[in-house]
Amino acid sequence: MIDAAELIDNDFLRQFELKIDSHLAKIEYSLQERKIFLTKLVIPEEIKDDEFRKEFLEAVFKSISERNLSVVPTSPEIAKFVRSNRKYKRMLPVGVRI
């Protein structure tokens, strides 16, 4: 459903964006040193679907991994995703548990 090439890191607005038709899904973030704090997940009502949410988050985590950054999920939805996908726990900074 999602092609990683469609994922945009809008560093001016500090958010990852994915446009589906005329709708914009986004994850807001704050970047500090080598850590990225994922603060808010926004998915429009029209495309709220668990498979889309999973693929969108996987694409964002892949992009972050390629930049070799640690992830601190402060959004409850994103923290839940990390808890249910063990492979992303290795991206948490030392001392951070979810």
10 inside domain: yes
The reply to whether 98 falls in a domain is: no
What range does the domain containing 83 cover?
4-91
Cα dihedral value 89, 90, 91, 94, nearest 10: 100
pLDDT by residue, tens only, the chain of 98 residues: 566 558 999 999 999 999 888 889 999 999 998 999 999 999 999 887 889 999 999 999 999 999 999 999 999 999 999 999 989 999 999 888 77
Does any domain span residue 96? no
Integer Cα distance of 40 and 50 in angstroms? 17
Residue with tokens 């459903």: 1
CATH code, 69: 3.40.630.30
**Structural domains in the chain (count):** 1
Q: Report which DSSP code applies to 15.
A: E
Q: Is residue 71 part of a domain?
A: yes
